[in-house]
Amino acid sequence: MKKRVIILIIICLIIAGAFFIINKSLNKYNYEIEKISEYKYYRYKENNNYGVIDKDGNKIINATYSGVVIPNLDKDIFICYNGKEGIVLNSKGEKLFSEYEKVMPIKLKNVADALNYEKSVLIYYKDGKCGLMDFKGRKITKNVYESIENLQPTEGKLLVSKDNKKGVIDIKGNILVDTKYDVVSSDNYFNEDEDYKKSGFIIENITDDGHRYGYVDYKGKTILEVKYNEIMRLPRKDKKDVYLIASENGKFGLYNNTKEILKKDYQDIIYSETTNCVIFQKNQKYGVANLNGKIIIEPKNEELIDDGVYFYAKSGTENIVYDVYGNKVNMNFNRRIYNTSNENYRISTILNNNITYYGVINKNDTQIVSEKYRYIEYLFDNYFIAKNDEGKLGIINDKEETIFELKYESLQKIKDKNIIQTNDSDGIIEFYSKKLEKVASVKTSRLNAEIDQLGGFGTETASNYSLNIKDDYLIINSENNKIYLNNDGEIIQDISTIQDKKFPDNIKNYKKIWINSDDVYYSSEEQ
């Protein structure tokens, strides 16, 4: 009996150990991007120099520096510069990390935001080499690198160089790509749940025969060796599978992770995002394969394109329309069908006398809006923007009823908002809510109206009118007024509910100075 108990204990320990190893392996690459829990510190400017104030407007670091970087507004770590030389101070004004030759923040590349630094790690230099450490000065890596920088567009992954070769580490110090390549770049894979965490790496060496490419996944596993002339990752939102198009000696193939699902036997392979298939060329003919490697349209076509939800092929004198399964579709070759963000509606077009006319069909392929408009775009709910033969814009519904008369010079849905903006020939700009109720109107000169049309929106400003688009609201600025709208276009009466909690307009007697999206400071001086 005692022997059985011992054996059972041993088995349990083995199982527990296996779970521990598996869990540790899974968590190894699961780094966390630090969140700022409280905005405590801000840059301020005085007499053309910079210092630091706290959230109550108290001076923490006097404005005696040509520049100040606060990598994390929740941490009392400030890199203060006079020229190129920087020192690290805390909120008590004490000098930190003086045992190192220098300490630097890591700037995020191509990030248009005031919080554009790594929020949990710094670079330290010693004996002419650099390493990674946290904000408490604990070393994450040894000082073995010639350089460390952000690997755009990925926060949390760092491009490092050693012996003039490039590699990648993460902010936990995990080596993702060994430092043995001439160039390393992100594949730019993105999903909304994990941002760029699961992005992999295109690796590159320069040889006597030219550039050669390979691929490493986000865990550091080599998927393709460095021997290809070209590599591209398909922009699919797969969480496990990586699909790659690669060419070698002028021949293209398709890979699912390390598995070759289309042999390198093609002159070209192009991914069709709308159909989730690939168009390939073989012996000067074109065909289509799905991502399982199955040929669904044989390579016998002199021409083949994807346009909307179908493929259009020319084989000899025959014009053929195919669906995504390779079935022939009995449809006019000059007709196109496009998906919208609403699965109940699709935009249809027909080419007639070299003019493209637009209509709408429903999910049962029934024509619900006739193909007589010069342009149609899905708006929201059951509404569409439509353009007539005179080039005027308006709004119709799915019963082809006119909701807004087709009379506007421009009419558009403001990006990421359920707000409609119209502009007529008299330079009157109007704003409508999701309920299609007018909520604001701005009178501009004809010239200024044209400036707004051509210049786009956001912070683009005409002489007497501008828009300021925020995540949760929109500000309409005119000469004598400001109107605040929520994302559905309803007027916000109490603007205190939407004031910027991160960078308030005023801190004590300091006023926020917003130069651009990544340059914000405070000042008590008149600007």
402-412: b or e for each residue (b if 16 or more CB lie within 10 Å)?
Answer: eebebebbebb
**Across residues 482-504, what is the average pLDDT?**
85
Given a cut of 70, whether residue 503 has pLDDT beyond it is: yes
**Across residues 132-137, what is the average pLDDT?**
96
Q: Which of 417, 393, 402 is nearest to 468 (CA)?
A: 417
Given a cut of 50, whether residue 18 has pLDDT beyond it is: no
Return the structure tokens found at 260.
């070759």
pLDDT tier, 468 (very low <50, low <70, confident <90, very high otherwise): confident
Given a cut of 50, whether residue 21 has pLDDT beyond it is: no
Given a cut of 50, whether residue 408 has pLDDT beyond it is: yes
State percent of the chain over pLDDT 70.
89
**Across residues 144-166, what is the average pLDDT?**
95
Given a cut of 50, whether residue 485 has pLDDT beyond it is: yes
Q: How far apart are CA 174 and CA 387, in angstroms?
A: 55
DSSP-derived letter for residue 493 is S
pLDDT tier, 505 (very low <50, low <70, confident <90, very high otherwise): confident
SS3 content of the chain, % helix, strand, coil (to 5): 10, 50, 40
Q: Which of 441, 369, 375, 427 is nearest to 401 (CA)?
A: 369
Residue 139: other Cβ atoms inside 10 A: 13
Q: pLDDT tens across 167-216, in order?
A: 999 999 999 999 999 999 999 998 877 888 899 999 999 999 899 999 99
The end-to-end CA distance of the chain, in Å, is 86
Q: pLDDT tens across 232-257, in order?
A: 999 987 777 899 999 999 999 999 99
pLDDT of residue 461: 36
More confident site: 448 or 41: 41
Q: Which of 63, 61, 71 is nearest to 92 (CA)?
A: 61
